[in-house]
């Protein structure tokens, strides 16, 4: 039985919790592309984004509508934040109008303070360079759908591994499942933080990837917005047709988006390239989280995991 009223970090979730979220996602997936369920009828999600977003913001919004609920959107332009209102006061106001809240903030670890003050359920929609737990969950669902397992996989991460919060959360999540190995390809100044490295992690060169024959290649962009300056404007680990020809037919290329120059559009038609499947599954997984955190586990449709 789900009893959690906050999701701030993947660390808060056990393997059993993750499996329940993914199982619930499978139940809800057939309902994610047509019609509306009424699980959250009469309930309101406050979607609060102090930082720009496309996929996370819109998928939370779509997820709540698919569940039959409503959404209050907040962005700073046009709000009292322009008059100097603090973020916390803004959240306390929106708390009065809603039943659950998803918050994105450019400040690392800020969600912990908000959760300690607010009484309603709260979901971390990305806090600075720290974590993005719902992205990790949709990535896990994608891996499960594509590979059939979340165990004994070889995963290569490329790009900005220092500030890439999606990478941080995904590594933490995959470590809850046995046998996974991780490989990092990044510029010298953008390596994975030391506290996330371990015996299952190895830094490699781009060309070393082919010998590994990875199950997953997870590409990320350079997070320039997290830096005072970035001198490596021409830096790129571009995955193009030449790269794909050297990767196994069973490999899958993932990216949390937005992409800049990491994935050449020429590869988009290759079935191994699945960022837009991740986008699709993002709404499904966020539907599951909203349903569980609002206490609707016993009201779920009776369907099992979809194929």
> Catalytic site residues?
55-56, 83, 104, 132
User: Which pairs from 225-229 meet CB under 8 Å and 24+ separation?
Assistant: 225/106, 226/128, 226/129, 226/163, 227/163
Side-chain half-sphere CA neighbours of 4 within 13 A: 19
Task: Say which DSSP state 127 is in.
Answer: E
Contact present, 71 and 45 (Cβ < 8 Å):
yes
CA 93 to chain centre: 27
Contact present, 6 and 127 (Cβ < 8 Å):
no
Spatial neighbors of 120 by CB under 8 A, at least 6 apart, are: 5, 95, 98, 99, 100, 101
Buried b / exposed e along 235-274 (16+ C-beta atoms within 10 A): eebebeeebbeebeeebbbbbbbebeebbbeebeeeebbb
């Amino acid at each position: 039985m789900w009893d959690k009223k906050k999701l701030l970090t993947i660390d808060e979730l056990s393997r059993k919790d993750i499996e329940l979220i993914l199982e619930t996602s499978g139940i809800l997936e057939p309902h994610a592309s047509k019609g509306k369920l009424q699980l959250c009828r009469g309930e309101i999600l406050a979607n609060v984004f102090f930082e720009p977003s496309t996929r996370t913001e819109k998928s939370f919004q779509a997820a709540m509508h698919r569940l039959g609920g409503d959404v209050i959107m907040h962005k700073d332009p046009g709000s009292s934040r322009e008059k100097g209102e603090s973020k916390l006061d803004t959240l306390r106001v929106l708390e009065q109008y809603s039943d659950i809240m998803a918050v994105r903030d450019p400040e690392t670890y800020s969600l912990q303070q908000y959760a300690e003050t607010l009484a309603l359920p709260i979901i971390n929609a990305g806090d600075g360079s720290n974590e993005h737990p719902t992205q990790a969950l949709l990535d896990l669902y994608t891996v499960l759908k594509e590979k059939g397992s979340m165990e004994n996989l070889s995963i290569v991460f490329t790009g900005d591994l220092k500030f890439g919060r999606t990478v941080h959360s995904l590594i933490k999540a995959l470590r809850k499942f046995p046998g996974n190995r991780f490989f990092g390809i990044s510029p010298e100044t953008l390596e994975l933080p030391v506290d996330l490295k371990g015996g299952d992690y190895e830094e490699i060169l781009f060309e070393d990837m082919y010998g590994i024959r990875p199950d997953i290649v997870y590409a990320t962009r350079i997070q320039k917005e997290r830096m005072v300056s970035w001198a490596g404007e021409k830096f790129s680990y571009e995955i193009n047709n030449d790269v794909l020809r050297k990767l196994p037919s069973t490999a899958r290329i993932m990216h949390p988006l937005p992409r800049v120059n990491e994935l050449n559009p020429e590869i988009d038609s290759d079935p191994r390239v699945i960022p837009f499947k991740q986008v699709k599954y993002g709404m499904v997984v966020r539907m599951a989280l909203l349903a569980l955190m609002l206490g609707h586990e016993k009201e779920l449709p009776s369907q099992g995991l979809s194929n």
